[in-house]
Amino acid sequence: MRHGRKTKSKRFNGYKQHIATDLDTSLILACAVTAANRPEEEATPQLKADLDLQGASIAQLYVDRGYINSSLVDDVQNANGKVVCKPWLVRGKRPELFKKTDFKLDMRSHTITCPAGQVEHFEPGHVVEFDPEACGPCKLRSKCTHSASGKGRTVSIAADERLQKKLRILQATPSGRAEQRQRVGVEHRLAHIAARQGRRARYLGVRKNVFDLRRAAVIQNLETIHRTKSAA
């Protein structure tokens, strides 16, 4: 049995459905199915293959955080497109200490500055450690780290730190949060499909369930087109 998790307490079995939707027309353009225990990013090659068959290109990509490490995100960025997604939460293990967001990151020079003004060079995807000799006598040490004597504060730098920084800036503004909420259109399409198919997979195996998802997507698209024409 394939077990997947949404949260620590919410578990589901079977398969996960993935779709790509044109938010302007509300039409579903691509479909994919993966086992429930596989990461979301593994669905993007199939989604991209469906989009390529239609000659569709992506200027703005609205995705869930589960897809942020996918090759599709890299393709959009390399084509100077825009990626809109909620950033990963920055949670410190010790709330009384400075968080990562209290440090100043300069993505151009690849430097990080601590609240006390100490500067270190970093490489994306690695952990940077501040100079222990500077951290030792620092007046802010008690608010920064509980590391043993002779060790400095460490900060993990994500491989996609540049993108995550942009997403945090976007989320910090009302207009940015409103833009992130546009992705709810994808959730609406998935909800309509779930209402039509039910909560249980009808078939065994990914291939047959992909066919069933595409069939439901076609019906959903026909309903969308009919509703649009009737309202015109």
Name the average pLDDT for the chain. Answer: 90
Band (pLDDT 50/70/90 cuts) for residue 174 is very high
CATH architecture of 3-87+172-231: 2-Layer Sandwich (3.30)
Which residues does residue 83 pair with via DSSP β-bridges, in sequence order? Answer: 61
Structure tokens at 14: 């079977």
Q: What is the mean pLDDT of residues 90-118?
A: 89
pLDDT at 4 over 80: no
Phi and psi at 33, nearest 5°, equal -135, 135
> Which ranges in the chain are annotated with CATH 3.30.420?
3-87+172-231
- The 10 Å CB-count burial string (b at 16+, else e) for 107-119 is eeebebebebebe
Band of the pLDDT at 1, cuts 50, 70, 90? Answer: very low
Lookup: tokens for 196: 């039509």
Largest CA distance in the chain: 72
Separation of alpha carbons 103 and 64, rounded Å: 26
Whole-prediction pTM:
0.81
Amino acid at 14: G
